Amino acid sequence: MSAVARAAQVSPATVSRVLNGAPTVNDTHRERVLAAVAELNYRPNRVGRNLRRQRTSMIGVVVSDIENPHFNSMVRVVEQVAYREGYRVLLCNTDETPAKQREYLEVLEDERVLGVLLSPSDPGGPEIAALLDMGIPVVAVDRPVEDARADAVVVDNVAATRTGTDHLIERGHRRIGFISGAVEVGTGKDRLEGYRRAVAAVGAEPLVAVGGFRVEGGRRACAELLAAHPDLTALMVANNLMTIGALDELRRTGLRIPAEVALVAVDDPPWARFTEPPLTVLAQPVREMAEGAMTLLLERIEGRRSEPRQLVLPLELHVRESSAHTLS
């Protein structure tokens, strides 16, 4: 910058003013500065600016599994909104491990990001409180966090699996298996709860196997359920990745969907309409969640709100063919 100042025969302060669009700069000076910038191929160093301004332009986005279509649709929307508003996205992927979450949140704190969007692997981690202590706003997405100062955008997971299971019950099913996510996380617990309530309401026995939200776990859980309960007629699966595993396992065993096993899944990834048969799903309002989360975060960052807020959005049942068979 001082090289530019020298070339333009002005002070560094004036260069800075020109670069930041300050109104109070003489036109001759402005032109000389811009010419020198072009001439020297100068690009301002944001690290210096960030230090001086005591403010970066970065938002940390911490997801638990970036390969999950649910999260990457969300990341996409978040990135679009951030870009539009002039912020950058620092992407972190915790692979569902509390240790990685802790390390990443500490890094984000040290990098002095403006705010954090977090789909927690560990909703009670003390590093969440540390961020809030430092004045860095946190918006929990998908799953709430324990610290009450954080904002949150969640969906009504209990209602979702309740609705999905009720749908199967209406179709005459009573032996309904549930492939659950990790029950240590809120989403997993709530989805299991919705299922339990639905089967309890008609006096059916809960048949549960835990698949941990990943493809392989879904396959294993499906195999377990089929082995333990050969009489089951329907499956409710708690997310899209486990659904891939479950479909693969069902295909392997040769069971027909929906005639022998009906299927309802949480999440509506792009491929759900193209499996055989197309899947009945509970679609998450991904775009609304991402936009809601960014709205809450930007309100905080820009100082327009200080009271915590929580957004609860509904999932939507899309009935397709995987549940089209009615038991008689």
Partner DNA sequence: CTGAAAGCGCTTACAG
Could you tell me which of 112, 1, 15, 119 has the C-alpha nearest to residue 57?
A: 112
Q: In whole angstroms, what is the distance from residue 123 CA to residue 175 CA?
A: 33
DSSP 86-137: T-EEEEEE-TT-HHHHHHHHHHHHHTT-SEEEE--SSTT-HHHHHHHHTT--
Q: In whole angstroms, what is the distance from residue 290 CA to residue 302 CA?
A: 18
How many residues sit in the footprint of DNA (CB under 7 A)? 28
Cα four-point dihedral sign 20, 25, 30, 33: negative
Smaller CB separation from a second copy, 49 or 189: 49
Smaller CB separation from a second copy, 241 or 298: 241
Question: Nearest approach, Cβ of 152 to a second copy (angstroms)?
Answer: 23
Is 16 near a second copy (CB under 8 A)? no
Q: Residues 215, 184: contact at Cβ < 8 Å? A: no
Is 106 near a second copy (CB under 8 A)? yes
Type of residue at 9: Q
Site string for a second copy, 128-167 (x = CB under 8 A): --x--xx---------------------------------
Pairing of strands 280-283, 138-141: unpaired
The item of DNA, a second copy, none sharing an interface with residue 215, based on CB under 5 to 8 Å by kind, is a second copy
Is 41 near a second copy (CB under 8 A)? yes
Stretch that binds DNA, among 18-26, 124-132, 241-249, 272-280 (CB under 7 A): 18-26
Element (DSSP H or E) covering residue 286: helix 286-301
Q: In whole angstroms, what is the distance from residue 203 CA to residue 183 CA?
A: 23
The item of DNA, a second copy, none sharing an interface with residue 69, based on CB under 5 to 8 Å by kind, is a second copy
The item of DNA, a second copy, none sharing an interface with residue 83, based on CB under 5 to 8 Å by kind, is a second copy
Q: Residues 155, 315: contact at Cβ < 8 Å? A: yes
C-alpha dihedral, 245 to 250 to 253 to 256, nearest 10°: -170
271 DSSP 8-state letter: G
Smaller CB separation from a second copy, 42 or 309: 42
Question: Nearest approach, Cβ of 8 to DNA (angstroms)?
Answer: 9
The item of a second copy, DNA, none sharing an interface with residue 25, based on CB under 5 to 8 Å by kind, is DNA
Smaller CB separation from DNA, 9 or 253: 9
Inter-CA distances, 60 with 77, 109, 133, Å? 14, 9, 16
Q: In whole angstroms, what is the distance from residue 300 CA to residue 328 CA?
A: 55
- Out of 16, 72, 80, 295, the residue judged to bind DNA by CB under 7 A: 16
Is 11 near DNA (CB under 7 A)? yes
- Out of 5, 40, 66, 313, the residue judged to bind a second copy by CB under 8 A: 66
CA angle (227 as vertex; 223, 232 as ends), nearest 5: 95
Q: Name which of residues 278 to 317 contact a second copy (CB under 8 A).
A: none
For residue 218 the two structure tokens come to: 């879904």
Enumerate binding residues for DNA (CB under 7 A).
1, 9-17, 19-20, 23-26, 28-29, 43-45, 47-49, 51-54
List residues near a second copy by CB under 8 A: 41, 43-48, 50-51, 56, 58, 61, 66-67, 69, 72-73, 75-76, 79-80, 83, 88-93, 95, 100, 106-107, 109-112, 130, 133-134, 215, 241, 244, 247-248, 251, 269-271, 273-277
